[in-house]
Structure 1
Amino acid sequence: MMDFGDEFKGKRVVVTGAAGIMGKALVSHFSKAGADVCSADQSTEGLNGFAIAADLTTDEGLDTILEQVKQKWGAPDVVVNNAAIYPSSFLLDMNVADWDRIMAVNVRAPFVLMRGFSLQMIERKVKGNFINISSGAARKMRRTAVTYSMSKTALDRMTKGFAVELAEYGIRVNCLEPGFAAGSQVSSLSQEHIDRVMSAIPLGTETGAEDVGQAALYLASQAAKNITGTSLAVDGGNSAGTMDVYQSKKSAL
């Protein structure tokens, strides 16, 4: 683990979707770095410390997170919008309720939380930091996941918009794009599918919990003080190109 010294000691960090694989990794890394972490998810089961149960599809749930954090801390230093849903469905088969839920969790919730926490930061003169967990799907459409891809594209553009508007307050806003991680999928994947996807990734690696945690710490650190409004892909080069399209140097020898 990269050593950030005491930089995060006492920092107040909010992580949504904290009960998932990536969420747990984010909570663990910030906690080990010395931060005080607020873990938010639909249920507090399995969550330790300052934990909030909230439904991100409702105004009540979003207000609960904003109010409890304000009451305990006044304002956070870092907010990681990690919660997201990825239902698989062709557009012709998708009902409007499913569409609305995807957009509510993946787009509306980050907007409401960024707006609310930004106002807290500005009031307390906190030069805070937002990290939105996006995906390579923001740039590449996927069959049966068009709505998810659209939601991540919207999150990417919203990140840039908030970055521009919050810069004058010293608040930075960035996206982090984890790559393929078989274990993070809600539904099980066949080994054949996993092997096919892995063979197309230039570095041939999955994105593990360590990769995501370290990247988030970096974006929130002073080492990245001049970085805002951008997306950091931690995906083994998958967003740059795939090995099933570009011939490897080794195979040409």
Structure 2
Amino acid sequence: MRTVLVTGAGGGIGAAIAERFAAAGERLVLSDLRSAELSTVAGRLRDHHGTEVTELPGNLAGAQFAEELVPRAGTVDVLVNAAGIYPATPLLEMTAAVWDRVQDVNVRAAMLTTVAFGRSHVRAGSTGTVVNISSGAATRARPGASHYATSKAALEMVTKACAVELGAHGIRVNAVSPGFVTVDSSANPVTDDYAAAVSVNPLGRRGEPREIADAVFWLAGPEAAWITGAVLRVDGGSTAGAAGLPLHWPGETPVQQGEETDARA
């Protein structure tokens, strides 16, 4: 039985990840800023799976809480950094405080928990694995998300940098990058218009939290033992391209026209 620490476990993708590990019989340590929601998730996992769950609520925007989270959790075999915030802030309304809070929660906290995780395993001479939750925003900017997109791009580089330095100690660090996933989140609400606009992908549907959780579970397991520093895109193919666009040439293609000309010559 492994001990799995999941941040951002009070709802959405974080709660689904906790559920996936609970279903496999793992011991859980869960953290979230929202203590009431965290207790609801923990209670459900105890009732449904008989899971041993420790709750460590707190604010990952604070460096001290982030640095102390892993030591407080005890021996942790798997660390999942799922906590994240994505406020909508137009660029011309950006302030240093708003920018810094997004970077502190989305990037710095994951870096600090991973450092603490690495130190604990190096001291013990043991191995472990880290999975960070990124986003398609890491590669695509959008209005109102300059801070969020920047934070996820930085998180993917933090993932790679940590993988390089911790690999010699047998510690794997990877990331899962979800596309648009249907979640009911009071912390990160979105409008219906936004959801309809960003959920277009080659597979033609939104993702579900359990699908992200399955990817995290796999990356944290023995089947992925030779994978580190990777970013797994679980996004219905949206990274590959846009399937819903019309053909840009209205009729015969230039090649077809050229072939017909050649045939007549």
TM-score computed with the length of structure 1 as normaliser: 0.87
- 1:101 equivalent to 2:92? Answer no
Q: Which residue of 1 aligns with 2:189?
A: 187
1:47-62 maps to which residues of 2 (within 5 A)? 47-48=41-42, 49-62=53-66
Question: Which piece of structure 1 moves more, 237-246 or 180-189?
Answer: 180-189
Contact 2:70 2:76 in 1 (8 A): no
Distance in 1 (CA, whole Å) between partners of 2:142 and 2:184 is 17
DSSP-derived class of the 1:132 partner = strand
Q: 1:196 to 1:42 in 2, by over 3 A?
A: closer
- 1:44 equivalent to 2:48? Answer no
Q: Which residue of 2 aligns with 1:231?
A: 231
1:189-208 maps to which residues of 2 (within 5 A)? 189-190=191-192, 192-198=193-199, 200-208=200-208
Task: For residues 53-77 of structure 1, give each alpha carbon's deviation from its aligned partner in whole angstroms, at most 9, with x where no partner exists.
Answer: 111111332244123113xxxx211
1:7-46 maps to which residues of 2 (within 5 A)? 10-45=1-36, 46=40
Task: For residues 205-231 of structure 1, give each alpha carbon's deviation from its aligned partner in whole angstroms, at most 9, with x where no partner exists.
Answer: 211022011101110111111111010
Structure 1 counterpart of 2:198, which letter? V
The count of residues paired between Structure 1 and Structure 2 equals 233
Q: Which residue of 1 aligns with 2:167?
A: 167
Larger radius of gyration: 2
Task: For residues 135-166 of structure 1, give each alpha carbon's deviation from its aligned partner in whole angstroms, at most 9, with x where no partner exists.
Answer: 01111111110110000000001100111111
Distance in 1 (CA, whole Å) between partners of 2:169 and 2:156 is 20
Q: Which residue of 2 aligns with 1:65?
A: 69
Contact 1:18 1:24 in 2 (8 A): yes
Cα displacement (A) at 1:196: 3.7
Structure 1 counterpart of 2:149, which letter? S
Cα displacement (A) at 1:52: 0.1
Distance in 1 (CA, whole Å) between partners of 2:26 and 2:212 is 17
Give the ranges of 4+ consecutive aligned residues of structure 1 lying more than 4 Å apart after TM superposition.
Answer: none
DSSP-derived class of the 2:56 partner = strand
Structure 2 residues without counterparts, runs of 5 or longer: 43-52, 253-265
Cα displacement (A) at 1:246: 6.9
Contact 1:43 1:52 in 2 (8 A): no
Distance in 2 (CA, whole Å) between partners of 1:195 and 1:87 is 18
Contact 1:77 1:126 in 2 (8 A): no
Q: 1:246 to 1:82 in 2, by over 3 A?
A: farther
Cα displacement (A) at 1:179: 1.0
Q: Which residue of 2 aligns with 1:90?
A: 90
DSSP-derived class of the 1:26 partner = helix
TM-score computed with the length of structure 2 as normaliser: 0.83
Contact 1:13 1:77 in 2 (8 A): yes
Distance in 2 (CA, whole Å) between partners of 1:181 and 1:143 is 19
Q: How large is the Cα RMSD of the aligned pairs?
A: 1.7
Cα displacement (A) at 1:184: 4.7
Contact 1:26 1:212 in 2 (8 A): yes
Contact 2:202 2:244 in 1 (8 A): no
Structure 1 residues without counterparts, runs of 5 or longer: 1-9
Contact 1:54 1:64 in 2 (8 A): no
DSSP-derived class of the 1:207 partner = coil
DSSP-derived class of the 2:219 partner = helix
Q: 1:119 to 1:64 in 2, by over 3 A?
A: closer
Distance in 2 (CA, whole Å) between partners of 1:17 and 1:245 is 35
Q: 1:176 to 1:246 in 2, by over 3 A?
A: farther
Structure 2 counterpart of 1:60, which letter? Q
